[in-house]
């Protein structure tokens, strides 16, 4: 066959197709999912940083996930960023499934808008206030009720456009009096905030229930056991509100709840968000028993007998509010109703602490050696450990495993450093990937590698093929695994 003619024939065909198609037709693999430790920016620390008081803060610093820039303000290094993005994506998927629509609002907002709502002065010192070169007063948004209500008010005019639920995932700033515990109580933090708009309070309640159910699913997918608690509405306002807390010894809030919450079933994948009665039933089940934070708890009036009462500490990972017309009234969010009358819309807002969750998941899932990531949020699924870098057989086996894992689209971190085995093991435990695939000269003589499960610590000697099969099978398995908070 005339090869030259063949190539020029393909070349001619390619040239006829637009450039974008030609590039798109080639498989462009995301090389960030398979990395070599010698090239990856992963500055782990042996010593425990003195400023870190709780496990998640210690582990995030030691595992090279974050570095502090100023009090309560952090940079996210590559490993931390991967976890943050995984959490963000789970939040996004569950918001979308519940019918919320993603958008993006700026971090900087105008003070005038907050004067209209009456919150500019109320917010006090927690609000970071900025003046631009024209002496216009601005602020770094601590939350977004005002801007979203303004957008809605200027663009939605008819009841036919309702209901709407709009959200974004964006950095917030609150000049907290005591920023502490790393990303758990930061000043700059990453939040998902959704805002619902409805024609009447009943429809507003449906929107609230949708978010309530979406939250149960969101946190379960991260391996967390979450309890919705009746909550105080604080500066956001309104008369109906639930905080979603996970139980952890280092939680900032004292919580009291019926032990029945520890065994409630989370709505399944197929939950139907159009089945309003079904949603109401789920919310009723999840709010039937006593569950409150300490500011709402009255020991004398508590209806739960002592033997059924769980009194623990909790971390607030989400908070939802229904506040009716509090903002729509002031900012003029009105639509024409079915009879032509003017209706002020009913609103709710729904927050998830995306950056706080990174710390909260560690608080729920770690041991003395480091993090134990649930599969669904792990920065990589597999840590490949070469016990004797420079040994021909080990290097070759590792390169082969690395290439095959990468080829199969698995997320893998290959520790190819020239370091002692002890150092590599300690680092792998610290960063807490679900699987450790360990290749050493002794096992390799018999064609064996060691597979360690970070969660339970079980180790198995397996053939290379069997180990790969295990790692591949599990890594594509259900997203909902991991130890729940105890």
**Candidates 50-58, 107-115, 181-189, 437-445 — which segment interacts with ligand 5CA by CB under 6 A?**
181-189
Residue that has been written with the tokens 């629509």 in this structure: 101
Residue numbers 231-260 binding ligand 5CA by CB under 6 A:
236
- Beta strand 101-102 with 164-173: parallel, antiparallel or unpaired? parallel
- Shortest CB 242 distance to ligand 5CA, Å: 10
SS3 159: helix
Report the run of H or E that residue 287 belongs to, with start and end.
helix 276-287
Q: For ligand 5CA, which residue has the nearest CB?
A: 353
- For ligand 5CA, give the closer residue by CB, 353 or 434: 353
Phi, psi (deg, nearest 5) at residue 140: -90, 120
Q: Give the dihedral of Cα atoms 72, 292, 367, 94; nearest 10 deg.
A: -80
| Residue from the set 80, 251, 318, 440 that interacts with ligand 5CA by CB under 6 A | 318
| Residue from the set 165, 293, 349, 436 that interacts with ligand 5CA by CB under 6 A | 349
**Side-chain half-sphere exposure of 291, counting CA atoms within 13 A:** 25
Using CB under 6 A as the binding rule, whether residue 80 contacts ligand 5CA is answered as no
- Shortest CB 187 distance to ligand 5CA, Å: 7
**Candidates 127-135, 344-352, 385-393, 469-477 — which segment interacts with ligand 5CA by CB under 6 A?**
344-352
End-to-end CA distance of the chain: 69
**Candidates 283-291, 350-358, 384-392, 455-463 — which segment interacts with ligand 5CA by CB under 6 A?**
350-358
Residue numbers 148-177 binding ligand 5CA by CB under 6 A:
174, 176
- For ligand 5CA, give the closer residue by CB, 180 or 470: 180
Using CB under 6 A as the binding rule, whether residue 317 contacts ligand 5CA is answered as yes
Report the run of H or E that residue 109 belongs to, with start and end.
strand 108-110
Report the run of H or E that residue 89 belongs to, with start and end.
helix 78-97
Q: What is the DSSP letter of 273?
A: T
Using CB under 6 A as the binding rule, whether residue 356 contacts ligand 5CA is answered as yes
| Residue from the set 353, 370, 383, 432 that interacts with ligand 5CA by CB under 6 A | 353
Residue 97 Cα distances to 217, 242, 243, angstroms: 11, 21, 21
CA distance 315 to 362: 12
Using CB under 6 A as the binding rule, whether residue 326 contacts ligand 5CA is answered as no
CA distance 91 to 207: 17
Using CB under 6 A as the binding rule, whether residue 208 contacts ligand 5CA is answered as no
Using CB under 6 A as the binding rule, whether residue 363 contacts ligand 5CA is answered as no
- Shortest CB 350 distance to ligand 5CA, Å: 6
CB neighbourhood size of 270 (10 A): 5
Q: Give the dihedral of Cα atoms 389, 391, 392, 393; nearest 10 deg.
A: -90
Counts for the chain of helices (H) and strands (E), in that order: 15, 24
- For ligand 5CA, give the closer residue by CB, 180 or 453: 180
Residue that has been written with the tokens 């008369």 in this structure: 239
- Shortest CB 271 distance to ligand 5CA, Å: 22
| Residue from the set 74, 350, 380, 414 that interacts with ligand 5CA by CB under 6 A | 350
Q: Which region, left, alpha or beta, applies to residue 405 given φ > 0 means left and ψ of -120 to 50 means alpha? A: alpha
Q: Give the dihedral of Cα atoms 17, 20, 22, 28; nearest 10 deg.
A: -170
| Residue from the set 210, 258, 319, 326 that interacts with ligand 5CA by CB under 6 A | 319
Site size toward ligand 5CA, by CB under 6 A: 21
- For ligand 5CA, give the closer residue by CB, 209 or 355: 355
Using CB under 6 A as the binding rule, whether residue 189 contacts ligand 5CA is answered as yes
User: Which residues contact ligand 5CA (rule: CB under 6 A)?
Assistant: 143, 145, 174, 176, 185-186, 189, 191, 193, 236, 316-319, 321, 349-351, 353, 355-356
């Amino acid at each position: 066959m005339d090869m030259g003619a063949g190539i020029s024939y393909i070349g001619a065909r390619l040239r006829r197709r637009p450039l974008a198609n030609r590039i798109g037709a080639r498989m462009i693999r995301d090389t960030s999912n398979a990395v070599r430790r010698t090239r990856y920016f992963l500055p782990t620390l042996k010593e425990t940083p003195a400023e870190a008081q709780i496990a998640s803060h210690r582990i995030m610093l030691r595992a090279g996930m974050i570095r502090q820039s100023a009090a309560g303000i952090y940079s996210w290094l590559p490993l931390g960023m991967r976890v943050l993005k995984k959490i963000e994506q789970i939040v996004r998927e569950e918001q979308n499934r519940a019918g919320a629509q993603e958008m993006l609002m700026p971090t900087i907002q105008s003070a005038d808008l907050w004067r209209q709502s009456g919150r500019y002065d109320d917010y006090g010192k927690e609000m970071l206030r900025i003046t631009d070169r024209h002496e216009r007063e601005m602020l770094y948004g601590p939350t977004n009720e005002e801007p979203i209500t303004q957008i809605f008010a200027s663009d939605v005019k008819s009841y036919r456009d309702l209901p709407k639920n709009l959200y974004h995932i964006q950095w917030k700033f609150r000049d907290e009096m005591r920023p502490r515990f790393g990303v758990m109580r930061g000043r700059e933090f990453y939040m998902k905030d959704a805002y619902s708009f409805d024609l009447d309070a009943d429809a507003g309640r449906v929107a609230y229930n949708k978010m309530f159910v979406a939250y149960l699913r969101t946190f379960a997918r991260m391996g967390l056991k979450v309890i919705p608690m009746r909550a105080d509405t604080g500066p956001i306002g309104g008369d109906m509100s639930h905080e979603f807390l996970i139980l952890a010894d280092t939680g900032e809030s004292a919580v009291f709840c019926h032990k029945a919450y520890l065994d409630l079933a989370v709505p399944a994948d197929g939950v139907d968000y159009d089945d309003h009665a079904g949603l109401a039933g789920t919310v009723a089940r999840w709010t039937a028993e006593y569950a409150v934070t300490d500011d709402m708890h009255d020991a004398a009036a508590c209806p739960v007998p002592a033997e059924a009462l769980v009194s623990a500490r909790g971390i607030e990972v989400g908070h939802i509010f229904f506040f009716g017309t509090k903002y729509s009234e002031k900012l003029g969010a009105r639509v024409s109703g079915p009879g032509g009358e003017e209706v002020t819309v009913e609103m709710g807002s729904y927050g998830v602490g995306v950056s706080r969750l990174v710390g909260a998941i560690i608080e729920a899932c770690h041991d003395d050696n480091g993090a134990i990531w649930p599969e669904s949020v792990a920065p990589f699924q597999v840590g490949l450990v070469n016990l004797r870098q420079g040994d021909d057989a080990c290097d070759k086996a590792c390169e082969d495993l690395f290439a095959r894992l990468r080829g199969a689209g698995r997320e893998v971190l290959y520790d190819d450093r020239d370091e002692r085995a002890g150092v590599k093991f300690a680092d792998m435990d610290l960063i807490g990937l679900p699987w450790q695939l360990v290749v050493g000269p002794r096992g390799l003589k018999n064609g064996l590698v060691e597979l360690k499960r970070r969660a339970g610590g079980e180790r198995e000697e397996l053939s290379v093929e069997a180990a790969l099969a295990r790692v591949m099978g599990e890594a594509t398995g259900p997203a909902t695994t991991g130890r729940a908070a105890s």
